Amino acid sequence: MRRTILLFALILASTAQAQALKDPQWAGWLDVGQTESLEKAAQARLASRPDDVQALAALALAQGDRLDNARLDAGVRTAESCIAKHADQAICYYALGSVQSLQALSGGAMKAISLAGKVKSNLQRALELDPTLFEARMGLVQFYLRVPGMVGGSVPKARELADDLNSRQPEQARLLRAMVAANDKNWAEEERELRAVKPGDDLPLKFAVREAWGQLGTDLMWAKQPDKAREIFNALQRDWPKHALGYYGMGRVEASLGHQDEAIRLYEKAATLDGADKLPIDHRLGQALADKGDKTGAQRALERFVANKRSNPANVKDARKLLEELGQG
């Protein structure tokens, strides 16, 4: 149960960018993890307009971008202030649910379980206030897909949320159906739906489609279909040349095939690109270097990863274990 709740929290955190944030620059900063810039901009606006709903929500999301308890608590307080001042604004509830999902990720199993209902409730409230707020709907779909039924998960409800968009937001509906297909391990259906999505200039949809392709590539890698996975990650490199995901994903594929030199090259390239901080690049780089026999390089990469407050606990646990093994070698 803990593992699936953590997976949901990671997914929701990675999709915490939105037309909820109307300023494309702000949405872009959040998407690639440049939350220092987002936080500074939000605070500057709040200095002159302390009740600005966009700035309050942006600040909460920026504060919730690291698995740091003090910052997460600050993010919750900011989101709650947003709700207190703007009880009718969906983005405030969305921001609170997003930060709470990170709290679930950083806490223990009981913490995750206790927060699951609050996350769902806040996402539902956001959607009630604004049925077109795609980020809230997407987050709720992921909640229903990833969280165990005993704490609120439901695949049929996820499908209902996707089907409800067929007439109003057909492109978004296709993406949500792809997510349901991914949950069912129906890779062919997931790919068919993703290829049909035409996001146009819709930033949150474009970001979400990119992430969905990355997940499909990883799933195909695990399903022993490296050629299909390569095709997807090559396309991501072509369509998002300044983003780390395509290079990181290709590195995972090459590493899975034992091509450690190529994997290392790809990870090092990915580390220089947008979004690098939101991917466990140093963890995978450390593994590849260790497999190649470069103990010193592996230790440096793994130590960087463990020190990074954006690193998720599951990867950190594995990285610590590998560091211990390297220290004993």
Q: What is the pLDDT of residues 84-104, one digit of tens each?
A: 999 999 999 999 999 998 888
Q: Going by C-beta distance under 8 Å and a sequence separation of 6 or more, which residues neighbour residue 279?
A: 244, 245, 248, 270
- Let me know: does 41 contact 49? Beta carbons within 8 Å: no
Q: What is the mean pLDDT of residues 135-142?
A: 93
Residue 58 has pLDDT above 70, yes or no: yes
pLDDT at site 18: 41
Nearest partner of 217 among 184, 242, 254, 243, judged by Cα: 254
Please give the pLDDT value at position 312.
Answer: 82
Measured from the Cβ of residue 173, the count of other Cβ atoms closer than 10 Å reads 20
Q: Mean pLDDT, to the nearest integer, of 265-291?
A: 96
pLDDT at 150 over 90: no
Average pLDDT value over all residues in the chain: 91
Going by pLDDT thresholds of 50, 70 and 90, the confidence category of residue 159 is very high
Confidence (pLDDT) at 148: 85
Question: Residue 13 above 70 pLDDT?
Answer: no
pLDDT bucket at 269, cuts 50 / 70 / 90: very high
Q: Which of 105-114, 148-157, 159-168, 211-220 has the lowest mean pLDDT?
A: 105-114
What sign does the CA torsion over 131, 192, 32, 118 have? positive
Would the pLDDT of 241 be above 60? yes
Q: Is 90 exposed, middle or buried (0-12, 13-18, 19+ CB in 10 A)?
A: buried
pLDDT(9) > 60: no
**pLDDT at 11 exceeding the cut of 60:** no
Q: Which residue has the tokens 């954006």?
A: 310
Predicted confidence at residue 295, as pLDDT, reads 95
Place 313 in a pLDDT band, splitting at 50, 70 and 90: confident
Has residue 10 got a pLDDT over 70?
Answer: no
Residue 4: pLDDT band by 50, 70, 90 thresholds?
very low
Per-residue confidence (pLDDT) for residue 108, from 0 to 100: 67
Does the pLDDT of residue 260 top 90, yes or no?
yes
Residues sharing a CB contact under 8 Å with residue 326, sequence separation 6 or more, in sequence order: 290, 295, 298, 299, 302
CATH superfamily of 224-329: Tetratricopeptide repeat domain (1.25.40.10)
Label residue 321 by pLDDT band (50, 70, 90): very high
Segment 178-217, tens digit of pLDDT: 999 999 999 999 999 999 999 998 888 999 999 999 999 9
For 201-235, give one letter per residue: b (16+ CB within 10 A) or e.
ebbbbbbbbbbbbbbbbbbbbeeebeebbbebbee
In sequence order, the 6+-apart residues with CB closer than 8 A to the CB of 316 are 305, 306
- Delimit the domains of the chain by residue range: 224-329
Q: Which residue has the higher pLDDT, 312 or 30?
A: 30
